[in-house]
Amino acid sequence: MSAKRRHDDNDADGAASSDMKQKKRQVAASSNKNQKRHVAALILARGGSKGIPLKNIKPLAGVPLMGWVLRAAVDSEVFDSVWVSTDHAEIKKVAEAWGAQVHQRSPEVSRDSTSSLETIQEFLKYHNEVDIVCNIQATSPCLHPFDVKEALKKITEDGYDSVFSVVRRHQFRWKEVDELSDEKTEAINLDPANRPRRQDWPGELCENGSFYFTTKDLIKTGQLQGGKSIYYEMLPEFSVDIDGDIDWPVAEQRVLRYGYPGKVVRLLFCNVSACLAEGINALSSNTRNTSAIHMLQEKQVEVILLTSSDDAVAQSLAAKLQKRTGCQVMEVGKKPLNDLQEVMKNKSLDWKHVAFMGFDQADEKLLKLAGLSAVPGDAPELASKAAKYICPLSRGSGAVWDFAELILLQKPMAKPQ
């Protein structure tokens, strides 16, 4: 047999082998599509942060830091379960308030030297039903549901084993040198003699740390990125990573503009008796308070004012209040949730589309249940921990106005899901 004939035969065998591998991958991907796999979101939130104490639950624009990504994970509706792995009781409370289940991590994976891989492996040891893990970083508060939805498809529909988020950066990099030496620096990713314009250079893809999807089988091999791996590119405005106190004020501005606000608010329940220091009188006479309500109404947000059955002046002022604000005024008992469930049923609304402003212990369940909830800055600790937003202003000082502004600020940001 001639060398040419052997060469041709080898090429044919190689092509056949390549085709066979491709077909196997397609079969595997098709099998994965048809087989329902349990997909879990997992946020790692250790209590012993060395930089910022309890950084994961520090308020960012009034919302606990990890509350931003938990809201996006829950509202994406692609996860069979949403978890927070923690060793701290306060983080546990916040996680549950935002709709997550809690995995109590062991001391062995709560050390400073513990890797994310080790923590995730422990989680899977106790939750064998999980097939795909999405490790979401609490320090990436501008994550939106549409990003995790699209990234997950690369595993469930395209057959990848791992998918991680990246962002495109246009930064020229240079070799680091010892300043005390005579060594000269060199360009790493450009030719200085032919320096391109920014618009002519596609830039580079860099991990932004927002999320990492990985199959359980790959994690068992000791990898979070590997196998058949691919990236998911996020827009720069959504790639915010908080790694120090100096970033906090800047991050608050970014998250208010680009963070995921939750489902569009269609209805606000406001506990007037509790949220105003002067009681119901304040809303009936204060122009700023009534203006806040009118702003919401102009944007098609219905407002229902709640008065307590214990408020002695509520009945005498309810009619005047309704006329002045144009709102329904509703009296609720000591368990307001029971009274409001019927309203929700009649309006065919989901709690994700409802905002609630409360103040005291009786409001705790509603503060947790509503898609967006708030308390004045002087609210008791129990209510503050249940709320998703803590107003910087106190009762009688504009807390209702502040919350109304937040609703209106976030309303235009919400994207179709």
Which pLDDT value is given to residue 281? Answer: 52
User: For 323-347, what is each residue's pLDDT tens digit?
Assistant: 778 888 888 888 888 889 989 999 8
CA distance to 18, 88, 343, per residue, from 26 (Å): 12, 44, 50
Q: What is the pLDDT of residue 215?
A: 97
What Å distances lie between residue 147 and 144, 166, 168, 366, 415, CA to CA?
Answer: 6, 11, 15, 29, 12
pLDDT digits (tens, 9 = 90+) for 378-392: 889 889 888 888 888
Examine the pLDDT at 191 and tell me if it is beyond 60: yes
- If pLDDT is split at 50, 70 and 90, which confidence band does 2 have? very low
Per-residue pLDDT of 161-174, as tens digits, reads: 999 999 999 889 99
374 vs 393: CA distance, rounded Å: 11
Instruction: Classify residue 307 by its DSSP letter.
Output: E
Question: pLDDT > 90: what percent of the chain?
Answer: 41
Compute the distance between CA of residue 365 and CA of residue 351 in angstroms, rounded to an integer. Answer: 12
- Tell me: the pLDDT tens digits for 131-140? 999 999 999 9
d(CA 22, CA 249): 50
Q: Which residues contact 291 (CB under 8 A, 6 or more apart)?
A: 401
Give me the mean pLDDT over the 89-104 stretch.
92
CA distance 176 to 179: 9
In this predicted model, which residue has the larger pLDDT, 361 or 208? 208
The total of other beta-carbon atoms located within 10 Å of residue 74's CB is 18
pLDDT band at 123 (very low <50, low <70, confident <90, very high): very high
> Considering only the top CATH level, what class is 267-410?
alpha beta
Q: Is the pLDDT of residue 286 over 60?
A: no
Q: How far, in Å, CA of 355 to CA of 367, rounded?
A: 9
User: 126-140, 197-211, 304-318, 338-352: lowest mean pLDDT where?
Assistant: 304-318
Residues 92 and 165: their CA atoms lie apart, in Å, by 26
| Fold designation for 39-256 | Spore Coat Polysaccharide Biosynthesis Protein SpsA; Chain A (3.90.550)
Instruction: Please tell me the number of Cα atoms within 13 Å of 165 on its side-chain side.
Output: 27
Q: List residues with catalytic annotation.
A: 195
The predicted pLDDT at position 86 comes to 94
If one counts every other C-beta atom within 10 angstroms of the C-beta of residue 259, the result is 25
The pLDDT assigned to 283 comes to 54
The DSSP-derived string for 14-54 is HHHHHHHHHHHHHHHHHHHHHS---EEEEEE--S--SSSTT
Q: Would you tell me the crossing angle of helices 287-298 and 314-325 to the nearest 10 degrees?
A: 50
Which of 74-83, 97-106, 198-207, 254-263 is predicted with the least confidence, judged by mean pLDDT? 254-263
Q: What is the pLDDT of residue 128?
A: 94
Give the pTM.
0.68
Under the banding of pLDDT at 50, 70 and 90, the label for residue 278 is low
Q: Where are the domains of the chain?
A: 39-256, 267-410
State residue 333's pLDDT score: 82
Distinct helix (H) and strand (E) counts, the chain: 15, 15
Residue 258: phi and psi, rounded to 5, are -120, -10
Q: Which of 104-113, 189-198, 272-281 has the lowest mean pLDDT?
A: 272-281
For residue 367, what pLDDT band results from cuts at 50, 70 and 90? very high
